[in-house]
Each structure stands twice: as structure tokens, then as C-alpha cells.
Structure 1
Amino acid sequence: MNARSWWLMMSVGLGIMLNPLNSSMVSVAIPRLQEDFRLNYTVVSWIIFSFYIASAIAQPVLGRASDLFGRRKIFLAGLLVSFLASLFAPLSPSFGWLVVFRVVQSIGTSMIVAVGMAIVRIHMTEKQATALSILSIFLSGAAAIGPFVGGLLIHWWDWHAIFLVNIPFVIASSILAWKVIPKDEASSTQGLVKNIDIPGILLFAMGLVGLLYGLLSINSSHGHLGMDAMIGLAGLLMLILFVRHELRTTTPFIPLRVFAQYPALTWVNIQFIVVNLLFYSLFFGIPSYLQLVRQISDYHTGILMLSLGLCSVAVSPIAGRWIERSGPRPALITAACLMAIGSIWLVTLNESSPVVSVCLALAAFGISNGLNSVGMQAALFQSSPKEMAGVAAGLFNTSRYMGTILSSLLIGIIMGNAFSFEGFRILGVMLTIIAIGLVLMNWRFKESTQRQVN
């Protein structure tokens, strides 16, 4: 690759890393936010929900919008939105405003991710696979070090720093992108509204938020359960209407018909939801256990969480070679077994267990995540025809976000108003049951992946 290609890749890499970095740094900030804003655990969990719901909606929509407005324009606009959100979030006068800025930040970083890979594919004509693998390191590496960076920043400053740390990366990416990303050809915005399923997006967003709010209110003690139940039922009704609308519209936000047409693809996405449910339940649960139950500092929590990310990054290239030789099934079965072992290990932890025990559970989930990140992608390619690769990738990302949202929901329902050791033990039992189910699911996976679509 020539020098311009390297600078192009660096500009995109610095931009796309903002989404996984900000989604993972917050895992260490939950106890501090709960303390500063004097809120219960259920309310504070919306700092997680808001980011993933906004990302699930924004990335596919903005990916389509980039075809009309131009990828360079969307990339630069995403950097500007991310800059403004990172600048104003620390000034939030209330938790509600912080959630608003968190949503804005999610939209901005989603704009960058939605077009970053496409920019590299289009404008780099040599060693494209190498470039994409390097960008994947930006994504996985940022997610891996996020808790460590978050713990370090909160320890030396406060939670405000996890937003301000984005600004240098945004500025560097903006300068490089302005100089090295080629300008877009003139494009027309006609048909934008026609090509984007606005009713479907609104039904999906309002239905999901309403249902989550209703379910999270089960353990709430604010005395409005009747109203909360009505909001939850209204959300469920909107999601039913969303399904009905998506099956009828010609340009659906989530092409649900694909699930009926390609059962193997459906099976892959279901497994991916479960995988992310397990992984992110531990990812968001362990830091709160360490800080609130074990009274371990933000800084040391971040260091311990680093074992999760480092194991994941280290295993990914090994997983790639293994899967090339043996296919995805052996790696996915191994990953599911490791998740089951890690979940059982969580149940054995007590309020005075050595921290090395926590690291063993983190390592098991980290190795499984490295295997799953490659194995699930390979399974996706096997189960989807080439002509619908874009649709399959979009559904795959949606499944990822649904798994993360469900993980936060599971923790919120179990913990209620306060994170406790008893709740953490119940969470471990629930994860064990789900992980054993995933192991059994992967035995069934053989039949699905053998139905490769050509």
C-alpha cells in the first residue's frame, strides 16, 4: 500500500473505533454515574440501552443515506456530531440530558461505522483484505481496551473524561479524512424518504423503548406500576404492528421475509443474539460486581477487564486459521462450552473470592468471544446467498444489537434498584442455563450450516 492508502486507512480507523470504544468504556462508569446522579441501577442502565438502540437504528439507515448524500459527507458529518456530543455530554445538568447526548453520540459514531468500511473498499484497490483486517483490529481493539481506558480516566478524573477523551481522536480523524478521502460525486437526495422505511423505524424504536421500560419497571419501587405496565403493553403492541408493517412494505427497515426464505440464516442470527446476550451480560455485570460488591477501584477494575479483551484479540487470528481448515462448527461449539464453563464459574464466586477467579471467568468469555467473532461471520457467509450479502450483514448487525440490549435488560430485571451479590449469583445461574442451551443449539447448527446457499 502506498502512503496515501495508509493515511486513508488511518483516518477511517480512528473514526470507526469511536463506536466500540464508547460502548465499552461505559461499563466501568455505571457505579460512578449511579452515585453522582443518585439513581437506582435500573434507571442508570438506560445509558447502555440508549446507545445500542440508537446504533441499531442509525447504522442501517445511514448506510442507505450514504448512497444518496455521499460517503465522505456522511463520514465527516458523523465526526462533527461525535465531537459535539463528546463536548456537551460532560456539561449535562441531569441524567436525562446525559442520555440525550449519549444517543447523539451513538448516531454520530454510527454514521462513521456505516460508511467507514465502504470507503476503504471503494478507494483502496490494492491489498484490500489486509486493509479491512487492520480496520477490524481498530474495532476489536477499541472494544477490548475500552473498560481499561474508562477505568483509568474515571480513576484520575471522573466519568466526564470518558466523553472528552474522544475529542483528540475526532480531530485527528477529521483532519486526515478532509485531506485523503476523495470527494463524492454529485448525488441526488430524491427518493431518500421513499427508500427509508420511516414508519417501520418509528414503530421499532417506540415499541422497543416502551417494552423495555415496562419490563424494567417490574422491580421498580416508585409506585406507578399500572402506568408502567400500560407503557410496556403499548410498546409490545407497536412491535406487533412493526412486524405487520415490515411484512407488507416494499422497502422494510428489517427485511423479516428473509427469515422465512432462508432458515439457515435465521438460525445463525438467533445464535448470534444468544452469544451477544451472554457476552455482554458478563461484560456489563462483572465491572459492577467488582466495584459495588468487592469495592475494587475503577482503575483496578479496568485492569482486570483487560484480560477479557486481550484474550479475545489474541484468539481471533488463531480462530481464523482453525475455521479455514475445519469450518465454523468446531470453533462455535468450543466457544459455547467456554461460555458455559465461565458462567458456572461465576456462580462459584463469593464476596471474598480471589480476583484471579474473576480473571479465569473473563478469560473463558474472552477466548469464546474471539472464536465467535470469526466463527459467526463464517457461518453467516455459509448460510446466505451472495446476492443478498448486504441484507445478511445488516440483519447480522441488528442481531448483535438485540443481544446487547437483551443483556442489559436481563441485568436490569434481576438487579432491580440496586446491584447486589445475590443478584449477581442469580445472573450467573441464568447465564449458565442460557449457555448450556447455546451448546445444545450448536449441535443443531451442523444441519443448518450444511444447507449452504450457492
Structure 2
Amino acid sequence: MSKRSWWLMISIGLGIMLNPLNSSMVAVAIPNLQHTFQLNYTAVSWIIFAFYIASAVTQPVMGRASDLFGRRKIFLAGLLVSFIVSLCAPLSISFGWLIVFRIVQSIGTSMMVAVGMAIVRIHITEKQSTALSVLSIFLSGAAAIGPFIGGLLMYWWDWRAIFLGNIPFVIASMLLAWKVIPDDKASIPKADRLTLGKWMIRIDAAGIFLFTLGLVALLLGVLSAQSSHSLSVYSFTVGLAGIILLAAFIWHERRAASPFIPLRIFARHPAMTWVNIEFVVVNLIFYAVFFGLPSYLQIVRHISELNTGILMLSLGICSLLVSPVAGRWIDRSGPGPALLFSAMFMTLGSIGLVALGPDSGMIGICMALGAFGISNGLNNVGMQAALFAASPKEIIGVASGLFSTSRYIGTILSSLLISIVAGTQFTFAGFRLLGVILTIAAVLLVCMQWQRYKRHQHISSDTLS
């Protein structure tokens, strides 16, 4: 691979890592945000909801927008948006303004993720698998070390440092990207450019509107009822409106010419549907730990942000160490065995959380986190391989988009679960209840993966016979 190709990968990698980095760094900042803005955990959890809902909507939209404006322009625009947000977010005068900046930050970072992989795939023609694996290291590595970096920044200042810490990465990526990313023309010829109305149909603006508004309304209704410990007229009305809007979204998507989420694909390919359901459950469990444990350690155990980040690093290190081993294992044996072991480790980690007492030592916490890290390393490769095995080649692009949506849905559900369990303030009893719920979900996942493993064994035996 040429030197220019390596610089291109580095410039793209520094950009696309901003999305997982900012989604994970905030895990250790939640208690500080609660204290600064005098809010309960349920209210502060919107810092997570807003980011993932915006990411789920922006990434597919910007992928399509690159046809009109060119991938280089979209990538550089995302860097510019991220730079502006990193400077302005620390000046937020209220939590509402911070949420606005968080949404804009998600849009900016998602613009880069949406086109970064495509830029590498188009402009690096030799050793593409190596190039894509390097970018995967940027993505998974940023998510893994995010809490540790967040803990260091919080030790240096407060939640404002979470945003300012982006600036060196943004500047480095911008300088490199401006120089090494080739200037590409829009893939749609100027004579064939879509009008605004046709482009809105192409991106399914109506579907995006129904999905976003319905999801936000449903979350508002559920969280409002949970906060007041009663089903008020407001929470019932808003929650019901959310359900109706999501039902309208499903009806619209089944009839749209270019649907935001092509639900008809699920009906035609049940094996792919099950992979996405499993991926939702995997992300629900993993991110409930990823976001819930740092708040428990800081609020209940009174462990500092820096030490919390160091503890969370055990999860990231185990995940990064296992990922390359998982790749070789899955190449030899297929995804079934690795995913079954992943579900078992996830169950062990969940049981480990339940077993933690109010005064449990750091070794017990690290062992539970290590189990989740091993599970995540196996899942990073195994779930993707399972998707490829279950999806026909002609729809692999659509399948990958649905796969990303499943990740965001699982993450949003994890935040909702934490908010319901934690309520106004994290307690030891609430954390133990969270562990019990995650254990039940992990056991369910083991059963699902055992069925996959048995099907694979049955198919293999039939092939040999």
C-alpha cells in the first residue's frame, strides 16, 4: 500500500472515530452533568438519546446526499460542523442548549462515518480488506478507550473538556483530509440532478420525520410516567402519540418507493431478521453496562472520574485483544461457536454485576468488565459475519444499513432501561436490579445463539452426508 493511501486512511480514521469517541466519552460525564445542571438521571439521559437518534437518522441520509454533493465535501463539512460544536458546546447556558449542540455534534460526526468507508473503498484499490480493517480499529478503539479519555479530561476540568478534547483530532483530520482526499465529483451527473422534491422522496423525508418524532414522543411519554411514578394525562397522551406515529411510520415504510428502513426486506429474509434482533439484544446489554456502570461507580461508590475511566479501560482492552483472535476463529468455524461463547461471557459478566456488593473490590469489577469486553470482541466480528451469511449478496448494502439501525435501537433501549431502573438517582438496589434484568436478557441471548449453533451443526452434517 502506498504512503498516500496510508495518509488517506489516517485522515479518514481520525474523522470517523469522533462518532464512537463522543458517544462513549460521555459515559463518565453523566454524574457531573447531573450536578452541574441539577437534574435527575432520567433527564440527563437525553444526552445519550439525542446523540443516537440523530446518528440513526443522519448516517443513511448523508450517504445518499453524497451522491449529490460528493463524498469529499460531505466529509469536510462534517469536520467543520464538529469543530464549531467543540468550541460552542462548552458555552452552553442551559442543558437544553447542550442537547442542541449534542444533536449537531452527532450530525457532524455521522456525516464522516456515512462517507468515510466509501472514500477508502473507492480511492484505495489495493489491499482493501487491510484498509477497512484499519478503519475498524479506529472505530472500535475509539469506543473502547472513550471512557478512559473522558475520565482523564474530567480529571483535568469538567464536562466542557469532553467537547474541547475533540479539537486536536478534528484539526489533524481536517489538515490531512484537505490534502490527501481526492476531489470527487458527485456520482449523479449534473444533467440528472434531482430536484429538492425528488430528493426528499429519495431520502424518504416523510419516513424520517415519522420515525424521529414517534420515537422521541414515545420516550418522552415513558420517561415522564417513570419520573412521576404515575400515568398522567400528559405522559399517556404523548406516549400514545408516539405509538401512533411509529405505527404510521411502519405503514408508510411498507409502501414507500425508497424507504428509510426497508421493512419489506425483513419479511422476505427471516434469517437476516433474526440477526438484527440478536444485535438489538446484544447492544441493549452491552451499552446498559457501558453507560450504567460508570454512573454507579461515581454516584454510589464515590469513585473519581479518572479511576472510573481506568476501570472501564479493562473492558476496552479485552475487547481489542479478542477481536483479531475472533476473526481467525470465525474464518475457520463460522460465526456460530464464537457468538455462543460471546453470549456465555455476557451472561457471566451480568451475573458478576449482580454478585457485586456495596464494598466489592476493584478486582471483581474488572473481572465483570473483562467478561463483557471478551463478549464485545467476539460480537464485533461474529455479528457482522452472521449478517453476511444471512443476507443475499444483492442486498448487502441495505442489510448493512439495517444492521447499523439495529445497533442504534439497542443503544437507545439500553439508555431507556437505565433511566427506568435508575429513576431520579442511581442506588445500589437499582444497579442490582439492572444486573438481574441484564442476566435474564443474556440467558435469552444464549438460547438464541444455541439454536443458531445447532442449526449450523445440522446443516454441516447434512452437507457431509
TM score, norm. by length of structure 2? 0.95
Q: 1:339 to 1:224 in 2, by over 3 A?
A: closer
Q: Which of 256, 269, 275 matches 2:263?
A: 256
Residue 190 of structure 2 is aligned to residue 215 of structure 1: no
- The one-character-per-residue Cα deviations of 1:236-259 (angstroms, maximum 9, x if unpaired) are 110000000000111100000000
How far apart, CA to CA, are the structure 2 residues paired with 1:438 and 1:223?
A: 32
What residue number does 1:231 align with? 238
**Any residues of structure 2 matched to 1:280-359 within 5 Å, and which?**
280-359=287-366
**Paired AA for residue 177 in structure 1:** A
What residue number does 1:20 align with? 20
How far apart, CA to CA, are the structure 1 residues paired with 2:290 and 2:372?
A: 9
What residue number does 1:88 align with? 88
Q: What's the offset of the Cα at 1:105? A: 0.3
What residue number does 1:390 align with? 397
**Any residues of structure 2 matched to 1:413-424 within 5 Å, and which?**
413-424=420-431
DSSP 3-state at the match of 1:183: coil
- The one-character-per-residue Cα deviations of 1:349-383 (angstroms, maximum 9, x if unpaired) are 11100011111110000000000110001000000
**Paired AA for residue 54 in structure 1:** A
Q: Is the 8 A contact 1:206 1:235 kept in 2?
A: yes
Q: Is the 8 A contact 1:336 1:438 kept in 2?
A: yes
- Count of residues paired in the alignment: 452
Q: 1:447 to 1:147 in 2, by over 3 A?
A: same
What residue number does 2:163 align with? 163
Q: Unmatched 5+ residue regions in structure 2?
A: 461-465
**Any residues of structure 2 matched to 1:29-428 within 5 Å, and which?**
29-186=29-186, 187=188, 188=190, 189-190=193-194, 191-221=198-228, 225-428=232-435
**Paired AA for residue 376 in structure 1:** M
How far apart, CA to CA, are the structure 2 residues paired with 1:168 and 1:354?
A: 36
**Paired AA for residue 160 in structure 1:** R
What residue number does 1:443 align with? 450
Q: Unmatched 5+ residue regions in structure 1?
A: none
Q: What's the offset of the Cα at 1:7? A: 1.1
Q: Is the 8 A contact 1:267 1:448 kept in 2?
A: no
**Paired AA for residue 6 in structure 1:** W
**Paired AA for residue 390 in structure 2:** S
How far apart, CA to CA, are the structure 1 residues paired with 2:230 and 2:253?
A: 36
Q: Is the 8 A contact 2:28 2:305 kept in 1?
A: yes
**Percent of aligned positions with the same letter in both sequences?**
68
DSSP 3-state at the match of 1:353: coil
- The one-character-per-residue Cα deviations of 1:149-193 (angstroms, maximum 9, x if unpaired) are 001100111110110111111111111111111112255441422
Q: What's the offset of the Cα at 1:223? A: 8.1
- The one-character-per-residue Cα deviations of 1:416-446 (angstroms, maximum 9, x if unpaired) are 1111111001000000100000000112224
TM score, norm. by length of structure 1? 0.97
How far apart, CA to CA, are the structure 2 residues paired with 1:426 and 1:399?
A: 25
How far apart, CA to CA, are the structure 1 residues paired with 2:252 and 2:459?
A: 30
How far apart, CA to CA, are the structure 1 residues paired with 2:438 and 2:286?
A: 9
Q: What's the offset of the Cα at 1:317? A: 0.2
Q: Is the 8 A contact 1:52 1:401 kept in 2?
A: yes
How far apart, CA to CA, are the structure 1 residues paired with 2:416 and 2:199?
A: 34
**Paired AA for residue 344 in structure 2:** C
DSSP 3-state at the match of 2:228: coil
Q: What's the offset of the Cα at 1:218? A: 2.5
DSSP 3-state at the match of 1:182: coil
After alignment, is 173-182 or 23-32 more displaced?
A: 173-182
Q: Is the 8 A contact 1:267 1:445 kept in 2?
A: no
**Paired AA for residue 26 in structure 1:** V
Q: 1:237 to 1:448 in 2, by over 3 A?
A: farther
- The one-character-per-residue Cα deviations of 1:318-362 (angstroms, maximum 9, x if unpaired) are 000000111100000000011111111111111100011111110
Q: Is the 8 A contact 1:264 1:448 kept in 2?
A: no
DSSP 3-state at the match of 1:220: helix
**Paired AA for residue 17 in structure 1:** M
How far apart, CA to CA, are the structure 2 residues paired with 1:8 and 1:35?
A: 42
How far apart, CA to CA, are the structure 2 residues paired with 1:365 and 1:163?
A: 27
**Paired AA for residue 21 in structure 1:** L
After alignment, is 436-445 or 220-229 more displaced?
A: 220-229
Q: Is the 8 A contact 1:336 1:439 kept in 2?
A: yes
Q: What's the offset of the Cα at 1:448? A: 6.7
Residue 448 of structure 2 is aligned to residue 430 of structure 1: no
Q: Is the 8 A contact 1:339 1:364 kept in 2?
A: yes
Q: What's the offset of the Cα at 1:194? A: 2.8
**Paired AA for residue 317 in structure 1:** P
**Paired AA for residue 260 in structure 2:** F
Q: Is the 8 A contact 1:68 1:192 kept in 2?
A: no
Displaced runs of 4 or more, over 6 A: 447-452
Q: Is the 8 A contact 1:323 1:331 kept in 2?
A: yes
How far apart, CA to CA, are the structure 2 residues paired with 1:349 and 1:214?
A: 33
* CA RMSD in angstroms, aligned pairs only: 1.4
After alignment, is 83-92 or 296-305 more displaced?
A: 83-92
Q: Is the 8 A contact 1:383 1:448 kept in 2?
A: no
DSSP 3-state at the match of 1:248: coil
**Paired AA for residue 318 in structure 2:** C
How far apart, CA to CA, are the structure 1 residues paired with 2:355 and 2:410?
A: 25
After alignment, is 198-207 or 410-419 more displaced?
A: 410-419
